[in-house]
Chain A
């Protein structure tokens, strides 16, 4: 059923925008209560538009919009609270986070918890020296919220508890199974990493590296085996890393 909605002052972020007609923007936004939504900002590209500088990714906004069905119209936008200036590599990482959201979020699926996670993740990647732990936690919670939760505490088939000292092979569709050097290639993933990811305590170097490889494979499998373009932009910075 199509109904006309009218939402006032909803906390939201712009995920992506592109030109729409002559002077308007078509914006994919992530709203606290609305989830992912598409809104048109009419006249936002006019030289004197006050919205222009505001309707950018990574700026916490309060947006008002109204509309029917798929495409809504933005009626107002204002900055909400402090703007953390995202600069440099934090911006490139932010693009990756936004690309992930656009891949996994469906329109109008409310995800208020994920919204909070996203907001905190943006702050962290802008401020923290090493963004990797925050990124992994975001990826994990994103998968969880969108129906692809990782299984990190028990083995897929037997249901046995994951043991820190054991090694496992992780199947994106089902979960961890005991790693068998005669049957499986590679080195598998340690139980310690699985448990650390489950408890969101990612500090050790080896744990981070394994968690990154795991997330990469799982996300690749669940995003239609499509490589996320923005991932490659900040990778060059640490070419020594097995990113």
Chain B
């Protein structure tokens, strides 16, 4: 079937969404046209507004339409605790399932010299200003458990410790419900290296 030019454009545009191929995009387009025009209008309005207004929080670098995001401006959080994550999604995950009530810093990536991502691209000048000026006691390094994530954590830990501040790394190893036999070698090796005493 050959669609009208406008429908074709819509289908094409929907394909920018992750995991959406041509078939799915076409199904979405017809669904919106057939049964959900109001929701679609709202979607297009919010999308437009969000793309214009949402920038970066000047304090933690997560997405925010205000100069400082709600987490950074909340009064009931512990300003002496700073958690470094790679993405806004990581920040949201920690917010929603842990009891963490400190502050955040979002790198928007990790050190990856072979992709041209160095300290400047991760906003580490901004990070340095924060740890030097905000009276932080502990920096929690919650970068991912990949080689790049580890290297990033190490690099940050050196920056933090040079300034007499405690740096901690989130624990890593065997996942909950994980049977050892099925855990990959890299994870298992790390879990053995980072073993700890059993609390009795």
Residues of A within 8 A of B (CB): 16, 18, 22, 50-54, 56-59, 78-79, 83, 85-89, 91-92, 94-96, 98-99, 102, 228-230, 232-233, 236-237
Task: Tell me if A229 and B116 are in contact (CB < 8 A).
Answer: yes
Cβ contact within 8 Å between A91 and B150: yes
Contact partner of B113 (CB less than 8 A), chosen from A54, A56, A99, is A99
The one of B115, B116, B147 that contacts A56, using a Cβ cutoff of 8 Å: B147
**Distance, CA A232 to CA B121, complexed state (A):** 14
Contacts known (A79-B185, A79-B186, A95-B113); A232 close to B118, Cβ less than 8 A: yes
CA of A96 to CA of B113, assembled, Å? 8
The segment out of B63-71, B97-105, B151-159 that lies at the interface is B151-159
Q: Is B18 an interface residue (CB 8 A)?
A: yes
B114 in contact with A230 (CB, 8 Å) = yes
Contacts of A79 in B (CB 8 A): 184-186, 189
- Nearest residue (CB) in A for B153 is A88
CB distance from B41 to the nearest CB of A (A): 29
A95 to B187, CA, bound (A): 20
Give chain A's interface secondary structure class: mixed
**B 123-156 to A, binary, CB cutoff 8 A, 1 in contact else 0:** 0000000000000000000000111001100110
Chain B, residue nearest A81 (CB): B185
B160 at the A interface (CB under 8 A): no
Is there contact, CB below 8 Å, between A59 and B185? yes
Output the residue of B114, B118, B186, B189 with the most chain A CB within 10 A. B114
Q: Which residues of B approach A to under 8 Å, CB–CB?
A: 18-19, 111, 113-116, 118-119, 145-147, 150-151, 154-155, 157-158, 182, 184-187, 189-190, 193
Q: Which A residues lie within 8 Å of B190 (CB)?
A: 85
Does the CB pair B118–A229 fall under 8 Å?
yes
Known contacts A83-B185, A229-B118, A22 near B150 by CB under 8 Å: no
Residues of chain B within 8 A of A83, CB atoms compared: 185-186, 189
Q: Report A-chain residues with C-beta under 8 Å of the C-beta of B184.
A: 50-54, 79
User: Do A85 and B193 touch across chains, with their CB atoms under 8 A apart?
Assistant: yes
Bound together, the chains give a CA A166 to CA B119 distance in angstroms of 42
Q: Separation in Å of the B99 CB from the closest CB of chain A?
A: 24
**A50 to B184 CA separation, bound complex (whole angstroms):** 6
Contact of A233 among B18, B145, B150, B155 (CB under 8 A): B155
Contacts of B186 in A (CB 8 A): 53-54, 56, 59, 79, 83
Q: What are 24 contact pairs spanning A and B, CB under 8 A?
A: A18-B115, A22-B19, A50-B184, A52-B184, A53-B185, A53-B187, A79-B184, A83-B189, A85-B193, A86-B147, A88-B151, A88-B154, A88-B157, A91-B147, A92-B111, A92-B151, A94-B147, A95-B114, A98-B114, A99-B113, A230-B113, A230-B114, A233-B111, A233-B151
Q: Which residues of B contact A91 (CB under 8 A)?
A: 147, 150-151, 154
Alpha-carbon separation in the docked complex, A233 to B115 (Å): 14
A56 touches B114 (CB 8 A): no
Q: Which residue of B lies closest to A96 (CB)?
A: B113
